[in-house]
Structure 1
Amino acid sequence: MASQTDDAKALAEKLEAFLNNPRAHLDSADDATLYRLSEAARKVSFATEARGDTVHRVAHSSMGMISQLADDEYGPNNVTTALASVGGQSGISYYFEMINQTFVAMPPFLRQTGYVNPTDPNNCPWQLGHHTDQSPFVWLQTHPEMMEFFLPWMANQRDGLPTFFDVVDFQKELGQKADDSTVLFVDVGGAMGHQCIALKQKYPGLPGRVVLQEQAHLIEQVKANPLPGFEGIEPQVYDFWTPQPLKGARAYYLRNILHDFPNHKCVEILQNIKVGMTEESVVLIDEMVLPECGAPWRATQLDMSMLTCLAATERSEADWRVVIDEAGFKIVKIWTYTQKLRDSVIVAVPK
């Protein structure tokens, strides 16, 4: 295993050296060599991508979905498996049925509005592309067939990538001296409860209450068809536009919530959470924290989706600091747990 790892690292170093000055190597290469190199690079890309990478790529460009084994003989590969998964099927349908229309609508929308970034979620390319005056989340409630694509894709789009709990020792950081009455983890807007389940599975002996907060229609779904492992988790109806009803939780957790909203709305959500906090409480903001330049390709694609659908944005660390400061919080630390997307957990407390 160590030898294979060393070989992979050596190959990566050779490729990086090659890419520092590719023309020096390519200008004298013949067509056959250029083709071999191009195909090898493409196949390495396919072999190393996670399921979520596959869905994002294939949603825009169909390639490499099966392998040719021999003349007139084909077979599945890792791309096929990803697309055949629940998350893969949902992701392709989600982009085709919901997102593509907003990208098509963006040029005429920008012409109509003077090429200014949209800031109103009720007036952005989404409404023009879908011929509606509703925001996406309201629209989804009246289109249950689309909700069947949306929820599985939100749950599965990061398949194959590390999670927050892979890199942060939650028990050490936030679970000390907890007992059965401690409100340990409140997942605000946590959909079907995947993160609550992940916490319980990672720390099965950790005492304390784990609470999933969601809108009423989703809590009804959770109660009617709970995911495996949901036992012991408390579902609670909550609207994050209202003051937080659970007082003194160790962690109020927001995963991929704030990127759906412009700054002033993020401030409102955070200030509502602050109402429930005590000295032992922290807010965990699980979002992409992007560099100022050289952002990952999937992050830039998601940024465009946020712009066209919600008049929102993915944010850099500087952007996050502005929002968090305006809400009356300060950042204690930032844990980055994926390099492909710069997924990070921002730990914040009231100033």
Structure 2
Amino acid sequence: MANDLEHGSQLTFSSTYSTTIQDTYQQSTMDAAIENIKQLASEAGHSARQPIILALTKLIYSLETPDDTVQRIGGLPLQTSVALTAVDLGLFRLLVEAEAGSTGSLTLAELAAKTGAEAALLLRLLRYLASIGLVDQVSKDAFKANHGSRNMTAKVAESGLRHYFYTCCPEYFALPDHLKRTGYKNANDETQTAWHDAFKTDKGPFTWFADKPDNMSYFNDYMAFRRGPELGWLSVYPVREQVPESWPADRPLYVNIGGNIGHQCAEFRDKFPADVLPGRVILQDLPHSIAAALATPGVENTVHDFFKPQPVRGAKFYFLRGVFHNHPDHKVKLLLKQTMDAMTEESIMLIDEIIPPAIGTGLDAAAHDITMLAAFAGAERSEEQWKGLFGEVGLRLVRTYVYNEASYESVMDVRLL
């Protein structure tokens, strides 16, 4: 019997040893693969980023159990909530600032002293943030910044989180019941959307913003910080080549229809000063946007409802960025007609929109599309859909200029038939 026990012990040891060797080998192989992926990702260009993220995300999802998937998807609002709390407390900024220090981390006691929050609460928040990769826990009561933390200190992250939490999330939560109530039909009534259900209002989002200055500020800041002028239509469209040398200084050159508070006008005038490209630069939007508009030299800030006849006639460029996706097809055609009625043969309508591909649309564009559905009964339209709409009203698409391949952001050169 002693021999049997000894033999069994040897088998157990041998099995355990083999398992340990196998685990060590697998871990070493995995570490090497991860380092290789990191190297390849660091060398990838901007347009390759999203496909890499999608491939790695799918790999992670392939390891999930059904409960893992439910916890991930069901917990997404919690991620937004806790991350916003951390932004409000300044946790990310404090940890990033500490990176240059001797330890590179901060203890709970230090964070409590700096934020005024109770250490016990901070532990719970930071432990959760570590579990979703936004901070690193280095000991029982110390945390440090990582790449996610640094991302969360960007102005676009702070304003974007507030915009999503306070403005977008309520309409997302209302969407399932709204679609069920409307018989799961594609939305085409901009006066009855998930937005109206969520906020219990008869106002559309931009009218609603007039009485909600905080929400309007979050939206404006997020739109302003989302991308710099280097990722804009001016980086790809041949403006100079389209404007005759003799263009008069008193003639409308660039009309930004629905231009919010004027960031696009400011970028246009910055790139093409009046002494370089003469002509009037005009911003148009509703009263509450114009009241908050930038005071850019050389830009005329004017109130206009773009569903009414266009008062500025014969301009070279009528520019609309992210305007049409806020509306269903029948409103898009009305807006197109109101603008084209003011155009001459020299005029060009420039339509700046997300134009998703027919196959393989990325997360950002697909999410924008559902957000437009929920808030406006609008959509992110394919180039084929755009051509159909243009043809119905008497316009033609001359060319589409893609300036951000990763998110399909493009400007369309559209002219009279």
Same fold at TM > 0.5: yes
Q: Report the CA distance shift for 1:143/1:47 in structure 2 as closer, same or farther (over 3 A).
A: farther
SS at match of 1:347: strand
The worse-fitting range, judged by mean Cα deviation, of 340-349 and 131-140 is: 131-140
How much is the aligned-residue C-alpha RMSD, in angstroms?
A: 3.1
Matching of residues 62-77 of structure 1 within 5 Å: 63-66=132-135, 72=142, 74-75=144-145, 77=147
- Counterpart of 1:221? 292
Uncovered stretches (5+) of structure 1, i.e. residues with no partner: 1-28
SS in 1 for 2:192: coil
1:247 — aligned with what? 313
Residue aligned with 1:210, SS: strand
Number of the residue aligned with 2:26: 30
Instruction: State the 1:176 CA deviation.
Output: 3.7
Question: Structure 1 residue 276 and structure 2 residue 276: aligned?
Answer: no
Shift of 1:309: 1.1
Q: 2:359 aligns with which of 275, 289, 293?
A: 293
Distance between the aligned counterparts of 1:240 and 1:193, measured in 2?
15
Normalized per residue, which structure has more helix?
2
Q: How does 1:89-100 map to 2 (within 5 A)?
A: 89-100=158-169
**Relative to structure 1, is the Cα distance of residues 282 and 342 closer, same or farther in structure 2, using a 3 angstrom cutoff?**
same
Task: Tell me which residue corresponds to 1:9.
Answer: none
Residue-pair matches, total: 314
**Number of the residue aligned with 2:11:** none
Which residue number corresponds to residue 331 of structure 2? 265
Aligned residue type for 1:74? K
Gaps of 5+ in 2: 1-24, 54-75, 84-128
CA–CA distance in 1 between the matches of 2:136 and 2:236? 35
**Residues 185 and 231 of structure 1, relative CA distance in 2, 3 Å threshold:** same
- More displaced 10-residue stretch of structure 1: 36-45 or 209-218: 36-45
Match of 1:87 in 2: 156
The answer on whether the counterparts of 1:175 and 1:206 sit within 8 Å (CA) in structure 2 is no
Write the distance in 2 (CA, Å) between the matches of 1:186 and 1:82: 35
Consecutive aligned runs of 4 or more in structure 1 exceeding 3 Å deviation: 31-50, 56-73, 79-82
Inter-partner Cα distance in structure 2 for 1:334 and 1:296: 19
Counterpart of 1:102?
171
- Kept in 2, the 8 Å contact 1:105–1:126? The answer is yes
CA contact (8 A) 2:282 2:302 kept: yes
Q: Using the TM superposition, give the Cα deviation of residue 347 of structure 1 relative to its aligned residue in structure 2, in angstroms.
A: 0.9
1:114 aligns with 2:183: yes
Aligned-partner residue type, residue 191 of structure 1: N
Please report how far the alpha carbon of residue 109 of structure 1 lies from its aligned counterpart in structure 2 after TM superposition: 1.6
The answer to whether the 8 Å contact 1:161/1:338 transfers is no
Please give the alpha-carbon distance, in whole angstroms, between the structure 2 residues aligned to 1:49 and 1:149: 30
Letter in 2 for 1:30: Q
Q: Which has the higher contact order (CA 8 A, sep 6+)?
A: 1
Please give the alpha-carbon distance, in whole angstroms, between the structure 1 residues aligned to 2:234 and 2:270.
10
Relative to structure 1, the CA distance from residue 47 to residue 215 in structure 2 (aligned partners, 3 Å threshold; closer, same or farther) is farther
Residue 279 of structure 1 deviates from its aligned partner by: 1.3
1:187-245 per-residue CA deviation (whole Å, 9 max, x = no partner) reads 001111111111111122221111111112222222xxx35xx1111111111011111
- Shift in Å, 1:134: 2.4
Aligned to 1:16: none
TM-score normalised to structure 2 length:
0.68
- Counterpart of 1:303? 369
Q: 1:209 aligns with which of 263, 280, 284?
A: 280
Pick the structure with greater CA Rg: 2
Distance 1:109 1:248, change over 3 A: same
Pairwise CA distance, 1:95: 0.7
State how 1:33-182 maps to structure 2 within 5 Å: 33-34=29-30, 37=33, 41=37, 63-66=132-135, 72=142, 74-75=144-145, 77=147, 79-159=148-228, 162-174=231-243, 176-182=245-251
**How far is the alpha carbon of 1:169 from its aligned partner?**
2.5
Would you say 1:198 and 2:194 are equivalent positions? no
Deviations 1:248-301 (A, max 9, x none): 100000000000001110110111111211111010001112210111221001
For residue 307 of structure 1, report the CA deviation from its aligned partner: 0.9
- Percent identity of paired positions between Structure 1 and Structure 2: 30
Note if contact 1:126-1:309 (Cα within 8 Å) is conserved in structure 2. Answer: yes
Deviations 1:72-104 (A, max 9, x none): 462364x44443333321110111111112222
Write the letter of the residue equivalent to 2:179. Answer: L
Distance 1:42 1:98 in 2: 35
* Change over 3 Å in CA distance of 1:103–1:273 after alignment to 2: same
